[in-house]
Amino acid sequence: MATAQSNENRSAAPDDDGFDISKYFHKKKELEVDKLFRALVKLEGSDLHMKVGRPPMVRVRNELRPLNRGPVDAEEMVRLLVPMMNERSRKYFDEEGGADFAYTCEVDGIIWRFRVNLLQQMGNMGLVARRVNNKIPDFAGLFLPPSIERLCNYDQGMILLAGVTGSGKSTTIASMLNYVNQRERVHILTLEDPIEFVFTEDKALINQREIGIDVKDFKIGMKHAVREDPDIMLVGEMRDEETFMTAIHAAETGHLVFGTIHASSASSTIGRILDLFPEELHGAIRSAIAFNMKGIVAQKLLRSIRPGVARVPTVEIMMFTPMIKKLVLELQDHKLPDAIRIGAEDGMQDFTMSLKHLIDDQLIDRPTAFEVAPNPDALKMALKGINVSQPGIL
């Protein structure tokens, strides 16, 4: 697949399908801001932050560090950032005070991709950019639990990745899709805003469509998707009623659908989905979730203590076993954490067990684990080898 072309250069107004072939093969213009992206790559940082009145900052091993230069003033900020935007991004920025898009920069002959958010704060422009790894890590490289593999072997249904912004959801989904890519002759179709990881096809046929660039909007993209014979779909973030209903319909009609959602835990994701809908629809949505969801994975990124490893995820996994389905249908969401805790044989684990494994494997230290532990007392008991599972509570 061609990866050296930046999507941002296709800046002419898109047609109904969003595609402008006349711009596609133009070489990306060198911009002044590229030197800051090169510094981020050379320092092996994960994020670049720019704020008026401060030097550019890079996040290295989870700590923000200033680059060795003076503060960026308002005029320089505009000069650096405005040329990064195409017409669509500029429209969003002017109307909404922010814009998200993918950006590329060549560093020592290698094209690097970045997920960029331009923002306004206190009347000034600013930037936060996340470096996207060129190589998609496998499950072992991401220190993900083995049961993640189970979720990649379904033929249909929905799988959600839950977590806050910056929790590694996109990387985990990319790893899951690449696992399939390396093993199955299927069609994988993604709708992304923006595209982050660019896949290299192995056994699978992969089409990646960027909202606003390759297709006008998500609604049109999903309308076309059902005509494009996908086996597996990535539909991005579940942020509204229409997105979720379209995705669940795709799952009901024989596709395996991946998506992300902002939720703090696997069990709380149910409530987060219901919040998208009026109360009179909650019963129908619960049924749709129970009969189509295959698993929910929630994760948080933590600073690692192992040399050469910057951050590792603590991961909670809720498989949709008959017990989980029953609790969802019967409005017993408060019992879901207990069901996860006693569901190890079904591939489930809660954050307590995940944190214990990370400590045992010397990937994180105890203070870090207790800082994020949902139940510090349960973690103390687990570290002492005390099984806190209570099979009778359900």
DSSP class per residue in 142-182: HT--TTHHHHTT-SSEEEEEE--TTSSHHHHHHHHHHHHHT
What's the whole-number mean pLDDT along residues 31-55?
A: 95
User: Which residues make up the CATH 3.40.50.300 domain(s) of the chain?
Assistant: 139-184+231-393
121 class by beta-carbon count within 10 Å (0-12 exposed, 13-18 middle, 19+ buried) = exposed
Rounded to an integer, what distance in angstroms lies between the CA atom of residue 5 and that of residue 24?
7
Please indicate whether residue 29 or residue 202 has the higher confidence score (pLDDT). 202
Top-tier CATH class for 7-132: alpha beta
User: Which residues make up the CATH 3.30.450.90 domain(s) of the chain?
Assistant: 7-132
pLDDT the model gives residue 386: 79
For domain 139-184+231-393, give the CATH superfamily: P-loop containing nucleotide triphosphate hydrolases (3.40.50.300)
pLDDT the model gives residue 27: 54
pLDDT the model gives residue 239: 85
pLDDT, one tens digit per residue, over 319-332 is: 999 999 999 999 99
pLDDT the model gives residue 359: 97
Rounded to an integer, what distance in angstroms lies between the CA atom of residue 209 and that of residue 202?
18
What's the whole-number mean pLDDT along residues 241-262?
A: 92
Would you place residue 394 in the very low, low, confident or very high pLDDT band (cuts 50, 70, 90)? low
Of 103, 61, 63, 53, nearest to 81 (Cα)? 103
Please check the confidence at residue 30 and state whether its pLDDT lies above 80. Answer: yes
Length of the chain: 394
pLDDT the model gives residue 389: 54
pLDDT the model gives residue 200: 93
Number of other residues whose CB lies within 10 A of the CB of residue 15: 10
Please indicate whether residue 371 or residue 61 has the higher confidence score (pLDDT). 371
What's the whole-number mean pLDDT along residues 305-309?
A: 91
Lowest mean pLDDT among 8-17, 116-125, 175-184, 290-299: 8-17
pLDDT the model gives residue 243: 86
Task: Give the angle subtended at the CA of 383 by the CAs of 379 and 386, to the nearest 5°.
Answer: 90
Q: What are the angstrom distances between the C-alpha of 351 and each of 65, 337, 338, 342, 379?
A: 30, 10, 12, 13, 9
Would you place residue 26 in the very low, low, confident or very high pLDDT band (cuts 50, 70, 90)? very low
pLDDT the model gives residue 28: 67
Please check the confidence at residue 204 and state whether its pLDDT lies above 50. Answer: yes
Please check the confidence at residue 281 and state whether its pLDDT lies above 50. Answer: yes
- C-beta separation of 58 from 67 below 8 A: yes
pLDDT the model gives residue 155: 94
Rounded to an integer, what distance in angstroms lies between the CA atom of residue 360 and that of residue 138?
21
Mean pLDDT of the chain, nearest integer: 89
Please check the confidence at residue 297 and state whether its pLDDT lies above 50. Answer: yes
**Tokens at 203, concatenated:** 């056994």
Would you place residue 357 in the very low, low, confident or very high pLDDT band (cuts 50, 70, 90)? very high
> Bridge-partner residues for 117, per DSSP?
100, 128
Rounded to an integer, what distance in angstroms lies between the CA atom of residue 137 and that of residue 30?
29
Please check the confidence at residue 288 and state whether its pLDDT lies above 50. Answer: yes
Would you place residue 9 in the very low, low, confident or very high pLDDT band (cuts 50, 70, 90)? very low
